Chains A and B, each alone.
Chain A
Amino acid sequence: MSAHLMSLHRCCQRSARLLVAGRPWSSSSVSSPPLHTRLLLFLTQRFYDVEMLLRWRSQQGQRRVQKKNAYYSYTQHFHGADIAAAFYVLSLKGGFRYVGQSDWFHTDKRGQFNWNFLNHKDTPLEEVDMSCSLISYSGLENLVGQQSLRTLSLQGCPEVDDWFLARLHVFQDSLEELDISHCPRITTGGLAALRNLKGLRRLDMSSLPGLSNPGLVIILLEEMLPQCQIIASGYDLSLSQEGIEERNEQHEQGHESDKSEKQAIY
Chain B
Amino acid sequence: MLTWRRLHVKASAVHGLLTSRLVTEQHTWVHGHLPLCQSLSTGTPVRNDFFKDLEAQFAAARQKAADAMPGSSWSPIEINPNLPPERADIVIVGGGVVGWSIAYWLKQKERVRGALKVVVLEKDPTYAQASTVLSAGGIRQQFSLPENIHLSLASADFMRNINDYLGVLDEEPIDLQFNHSGYLFLASEDVAHIMEENYSTQRDAGAKVSLLSPTQLKEKFPWINTDGVVLASYGLENEGWFDPWTLLNAFRRKAMSMGVVQCCGEVTDFKYSVNRAMTTEGKSLDIRRIKSVKVQMPNSLEYQPVECAIVVNAAGAFSSKLAQILRVGSGAKNTFEGISLPVEPRKRFVYVFHCPDGPGLDTPFLVDYSGVYFRREGLGGNYITGASPEEEKEPDPGNLEVDHEFFMEKIWPNLAHRIPAFEKLKVTSAWAGFYDYNTFDQNGIIGLHPLIPNMYFATGFSGHGLQHSPAVGRAVAELILDGNFQTLDLSRFDFRRLLNQEPMLERNIV
Contacts and interface: CB of A to CB of B under 8 A. Distances in A.
A interface residue count range (under 10 / 10 to 19 / 20 to 34 / 35 or more): 35 or more
The winner among A20, A163, A165 for most chain B CB atoms within 10 A is A163
B238 A224 contact: no
B271 interface: no
A220 B379 contact: yes
B114 interface: no
Contacts of A217: 361, 379
Contact of A19 (B2, B170, B175, B360): B2
B440 interface: no
Nearest to A189: B179
B360 to A, nearest CB: 5
Nearest to B241: A189
Contacts of A213: 379
B361 A169 contact: no
A169 B179 contact: no
Interface in B302-350: none
Contacts of A252: 13, 16
A5 interface: no
B6 A19 contact: yes
A232 interface: no
Given A193-B181, A220-B379, A51 B169 contact: yes
Given A35-B1, A221-B361, A224-B361, A44 B170 contact: yes
A55 interface: yes
Q: Per DSSP, are chain B's interface residues mostly helix, strand or loop, or mixed? A: loop
A20 B9 contact: yes
A56 to B, nearest CB: 10
Contacts of B13: 252, 254
B5 interface: yes
Contact of B238 (A23, A55, A166): A166
Given A44-B169, A54-B169, A195 B6 contact: no
B178 A189 contact: yes
A216 interface: yes
B170 A224 contact: no
A20 B8 CA distance: 10
Interface residues of B, number: 26
B349 to A, nearest CB: 25
Contacts, number: 79
B180 A62 contact: no
A62 B5 CA distance: 35
Nearest to A191: B361
Contact of B16 (A20, A189, A253): A253
A260 interface: no
Interface string A59-87: 00010000000000000000000000000
B163 to A, nearest CB: 9
Contact of B180 (A15, A54, A192): A192
Given A16-B5, A19-B6, A224 B236 contact: no
Nearest to B239: A166
Contacts of A231: none
B169 A165 contact: no
B94 interface: no
Given A137-B160, A224-B360, A163 B2 contact: no
A190 B180 contact: yes
A55 B237 contact: no
B206 to A, nearest CB: 13
B164 interface: yes
B409 to A, nearest CB: 32
A103 interface: no
B181 A192 contact: yes
Interface in B338-373: 360-362
A15 B6 CA distance: 11
Contacts of A265: none
15 contacts: A19-B2, A20-B9, A55-B169, A163-B160, A163-B178, A163-B180, A166-B236, A166-B238, A188-B379, A189-B178, A192-B180, A193-B181, A220-B379, A252-B13, A254-B13
In the A-B complex, the 6 residue pairs with the smallest Cβ-Cβ separation, listed nearest first, are A193-B180, A195-B362, A220-B361, A166-B180, A189-B179, A169-B236
Given A167-B237, A192-B179, A224-B360, 19 more contacts: A16-B2, A23-B9, A163-B180, A166-B237, A166-B238, A189-B178, A189-B180, A189-B240, A190-B180, A192-B180, A192-B362, A195-B181, A195-B361, A196-B236, A220-B360, A220-B379, A221-B361, A224-B362, A252-B16
